[in-house]
Structure 1
């Protein structure tokens, strides 16, 4: 007889963090909020992530039904990742995280700290000289 393991959370944010925790998942989700992307596009968009880590994070997000992997039947194979309908419900969460981070960067700059923000689409982007 199989015994089903019970997962317990003390607060809802724990469940959210269980799904999107780590350094890379929120970043991947922010990129996929805008458009479906191929593996190489994600690597270029997130230059500090290794291929192994990207693959692992994508698999975990797929397993949690946050993203879907679409393989096109062509040679060479084309694979795209995009948010599922369920995954799109995280857009408000990741957008809020992004906005908060940009305000934090602005606050740090106001305090005299030198911080580069490389996202040229951000209103807080400042090109370094």
Structure 2
């Protein structure tokens, strides 16, 4: 390893460089209106790569230490989400007028308040397997 300079910053050899996931995901030089919830920005391309070499986001890390289960993890997450949407009718709990999706300001990728919903099975109880 040798000393290097990137974007005017000198990085001495043997340094550890830590990237900000939040900074990458909310970079106004990369994303239009980065603080707005716009999931379609990830769906407008024919080939979405979650191991994105441009480092616009690093959900699964990157490089040699990147997640080896990226495809499996993504597929399982999408299938689980689809099953949850298909199997249940989702409603706000009684007494809740509004659901807040305000993000936490702690630096973590989390909501400021827990998201609480009620799930009601779509099918009659006798149609589900007994566990």
Question: TM-score band, normalised by the shorter chain?
Answer: under 0.3
Larger radius of gyration: 2
When normalised by structure 2's length, the TM-score is: 0.24
Structure that is richer in helix per residue: 1
Higher relative contact order (CA 8 A, sep 6+): 1
The TM-score, its normalising length taken from structure 1, stands at: 0.24
